[in-house]
Amino acid sequence: MKLDAMLTDFQRCQLKPAINRILFKDWKTLPKSKGLYSIWQDEQCIYVGQGGGGTGIRERFGHHWNKAYSIQKSGTSHGAGWREARDLNWWTPESWSIEYFECKSAVHRTYLEGAMMLVFNPYCNDESFGDRINI
Cα–Cα dist 54/91, whole Å: 30
| CATH code for the domain of 35 | 3.40.1440.10
Is pTM beyond 0.75 here? yes
Counting the structural domains of the chain, the total is: 1
Q: Please report the pLDDT score of residue 78 as a whole number.
A: 86
Q: Please report the pLDDT score of residue 135 as a whole number.
A: 56
CA-CA distances (angstroms) from residue 27 to 55, 64, 82, 114? 12, 10, 18, 22
CA-CA distances (angstroms) from residue 77 to 68, 91, 114? 12, 19, 21
Q: Please report the pLDDT score of residue 73 as a whole number.
A: 86
Q: Please report the pLDDT score of residue 61 as a whole number.
A: 94
User: Residue 126's domain spans which residues?
Assistant: 2-132
pLDDT in tens, the chain (135 residues): 999 999 999 999 999 999 999 999 999 999 999 999 999 999 999 999 999 888 899 998 999 999 999 999 887 888 888 888 888 888 899 999 999 999 999 999 999 999 999 999 999 998 887 777 765
CA-CA distances (angstroms) from residue 114 to 87, 99, 125? 27, 16, 11
Task: Answer yes or no: are the C-beta atoms of 95 and 68 closer than 8 Å.
Answer: no
